[in-house]
């Protein structure tokens, strides 16, 4: 009887937990304050050339909530969090990587992408629209696409896929981290003719897209089972990531898999923001070009976001490295011209070689132990939802690149966490990946490599800037920093808070067990932290107008 009463009371704990650690922590919905010298640490950094990963030991900041690291000044040197590589290695290979993959994605196989951009949004009725000319997009007539890649031919291949879960026009297999088009509808696009850049798509509709994406981070039973301060079972992880998973000082309310999920999503957001700033429309002159002010406000003043770009780059490189034999055996011939095939494979082999050098990520350290399979299924379900959220984007160009890149990341996740060496054997599993997955994976890696190239351009712009102008730029960035989540209204903020609380109440319904002794300590801990969180919320922010609208709404 007493156990049931305590169990009932514990159902209220998620409310306190939500107050103490909001779901949007470590995401762009929680802006950190400008830290001293952090803009300079990003923009004044000069890449160091090395030939291979010199710092294979995994490194972790020691706090999953970025605001807890407010005194840390990020410098892009040393090991990259939760990987087995360092910033120097990525920077040293990115020049060659970009030059090769930039040419690769121009080849016939990799530049054509078929997708249905007009599927109904599954999450809300009114997904808005972008009337700005920058959102417009041009399709390619199917006659221009090689015969073997047209809808009819691809549909025959898709029909061979077994055990798939279907919705009108799309499906996923149990191993997939995304929804895939079934090639029965949709148009063809030449990605080289649709640059990812500033479109003018912003405001509440764009903000709702990112808010919904970040809300896909609420993991349930499996997270609490796996990460409750001690391993749920006798599990020995490789030394490369043991420190990350069990290091003293790490917030144990977040499992490693969830932290990786945050980095993946925030890294995608950071990369897209970098592209927007790199190709920004000057409203006065009508010219396109890099906007340093945009980059400082969106990325350099919050350098943890730059970390996530590096992290995703390593993740994608690792997937390409593992997929090397399969990609090498893939049929890229399209026009009947053998020279085209030779050129494509030559560039691809160069990319694979670079990936094998810098793609150092230990995927075997994730999804281990009791309930690990449950956690993996949750991870997949959440990321599948992210790919469906792309159907709600109101800007055609943004929706296209959103679909390409979420499919590319989902393909990388599948290669790393679902496929063993036997499955990756091209001789026994030639139809392992759909053409769209291969195209999306390499184009997504190109997007991240191009982001890192853009960062170096911004560094050169900063170096050429005079001291008074650079100081003014930092001052403006400090004024733009918002310490509170930048929901468009207090009502939305409260609504999101209670939404998270409700989800976590549901979680405790499942995890409350007969033996409740272990939760007494958690009750005391969460109560104290919850009261501290309430106290901080009730303090005046000093901003009479309340929370701002933020600067990360555009896609």
CB neighbour burial string for 200-210, b if at least 16 within 10 angstroms, e if fewer: bbbeebbbbbb
Q: Cβ neighbours of residue 404 under 8 Å, at least 6 residues apart?
A: 113, 115, 191, 439, 440, 443, 444
Q: What are phi and psi of 74, to 5 degrees?
A: -75, 135
Do residues 407 and 437 make contact, with C-beta atoms less than 8 angstroms apart?
A: yes
435-463 helix and 256-278 helix, angle to the nearest 10 degrees: 60
The tokens for 526 are: 């969460």
Does residue 485 come out as left (phi exceeding 0), alpha (psi in the -120 to 50 range) or beta?
beta
CA-CA distance, 523 to 119, in Å (whole number)?
45
- The full DSSP string for 61-95 is -S-SSGGGGTTPPP-S-SBPTTSSSBHHHHHHHHH
Intra-chain end-to-end CA distance of the chain, in Å: 53
Cβ-in-10-Å burial (0-12, 13-18, 19+) of 115 comes to buried
The tokens for 478 are: 């400090």
Secondary structure in 3-state letters for 446-494: HHHHHHHHHHHHHHHHHHCCCHHHHHHHHHHHHHHCCCCCCCCCHHHHH
Active site residue 61: no
Active site residue 395: yes
Please name the residue that has the structure tokens 């976001």.
Answer: 305
256-278 helix and 372-389 helix, angle to the nearest 10 degrees: 20
Closest CA to 73 of 28, 43, 35, 31: 35
CA-CA distance, 307 to 345, in Å (whole number)?
31
CA-CA distance, 464 to 458, in Å (whole number)?
10
CA-CA distance, 283 to 285, in Å (whole number)?
6
Catalytic residue selected from 178, 255, 277, 398 = 398
SS3 content of the chain, % helix, strand, coil (to 5): 55, 5, 40
Catalytic residue selected from 69, 395, 512, 527 = 395
Please name the residue that has the structure tokens 């409260």.
Answer: 494
Locate all alpha helices (DSSP H) within 1-134, ordered by sequence: 2-10, 13-20, 38-43, 87-104, 108-111
Tell me the catalytic residues: 395, 398
């Amino acid at each position: 009887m007493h156990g049931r009463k305590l169990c009932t009371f514990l159902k209220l704990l998620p409310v306190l937990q939500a107050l103490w650690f909001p779901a949007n922590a470590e995401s762009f919905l929680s802006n950190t304050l400008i830290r001293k010298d952090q803009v300079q640490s990003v923009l004044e950094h000069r890449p160091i050339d090395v030939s291979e990963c010199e710092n294979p030991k995994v490194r972790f900041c020691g706090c999953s909530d970025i605001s807890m690291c407010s005194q840390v000044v990020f410098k892009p040197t040393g090991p990259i969090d939760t990987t087995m590589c360092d910033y120097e290695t990525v920077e040293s290979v990115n020049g060659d990587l970009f030059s090769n993959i930039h040419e690769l994605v121009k080849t016939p196989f990799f530049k054509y992408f078929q997708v249905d951009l007009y599927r109904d949004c599954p999450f809300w009725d009114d997904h808005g629209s972008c009337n700005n000319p920058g959102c417009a997009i041009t399709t390619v007539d199917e006659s221009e696409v090689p015969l073997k890649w047209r809808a009819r031919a691809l549909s025959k291949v898709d029909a061979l896929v077994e055990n798939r879960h279907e919705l009108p026009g799309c499906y996923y297999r149990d191993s997939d981290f995304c929804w895939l088009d079934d090639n029965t509808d949709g148009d063809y696009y030449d990605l080289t003719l649709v640059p990812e850049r500033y479109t003018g798509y912003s405001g509440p509709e764009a903000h709702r897209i990112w808010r919904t994406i970040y809300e896909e981070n609420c993991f349930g039973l499996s997270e609490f089972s796996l990460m409750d301060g001690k391993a749920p079972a006798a599990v020995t992880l490789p030394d490369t990531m043991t420190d990350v998973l069990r290091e003293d000082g790490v917030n144990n309310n977040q499992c490693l898999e969830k932290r990786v999920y945050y980095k993946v999503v925030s890294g995608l957001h950071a990369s897209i923001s970098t592209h927007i700033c790199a190709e920004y429309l000057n409203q006065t002159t009508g010219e396109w070009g890099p906007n340093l002010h945009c980059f400082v406000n969106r990325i350099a003043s919050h350098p943890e976001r730059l970390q996530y770009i590096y992290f995703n780059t390593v993740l994608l490189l690792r997937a390409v490295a593992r997929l090397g034999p399969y990609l090498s055996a893939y049929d890229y011939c399209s026009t009947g011209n053998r020279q085209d095939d030779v050129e494509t494979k030559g560039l691809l082999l160069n990319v694979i070689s670079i990936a094998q050098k810098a793609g150092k990520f230990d995927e075997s350290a994730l999804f281990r132990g009791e309930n690990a399979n449950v956690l993996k299924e949750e991870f997949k379900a959440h990321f599948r939802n992210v790919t469906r959220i792309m159907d709600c984007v109101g800007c055609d160009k943004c929706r296209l690149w959103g679909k390409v890149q979420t499919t590319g990341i989902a393909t990388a996740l599948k290669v790393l966490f679902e496929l063993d060496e036997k499955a990756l054997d091209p001789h026994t599993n030639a139809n392992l990946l759909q053409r769209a997955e291969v195209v999306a994976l390499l184009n997504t890696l190109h997007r991240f490599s191009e982001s890192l190239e853009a960062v170096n351009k911004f560094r050169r712009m900063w170096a050429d800037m005079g001291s008074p102008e650079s100081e003014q730029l930092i001052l403006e960035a400090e004024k733009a920093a918002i310490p509170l989540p930048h929901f468009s209204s207090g009502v939305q903020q409260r609504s999101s808070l209670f939404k998270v609380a409700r989800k976590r109440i549901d979680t405790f319904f499942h995890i409350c067990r007969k033996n409740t002794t272990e939760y007494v300590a958690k009750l005391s801990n969460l109560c104290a932290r919850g009261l501290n969180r309430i106290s901080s919320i009730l303090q005046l922010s000093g901003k009479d107008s309340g929370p701002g609208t933020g600067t990360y709404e555009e896609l």
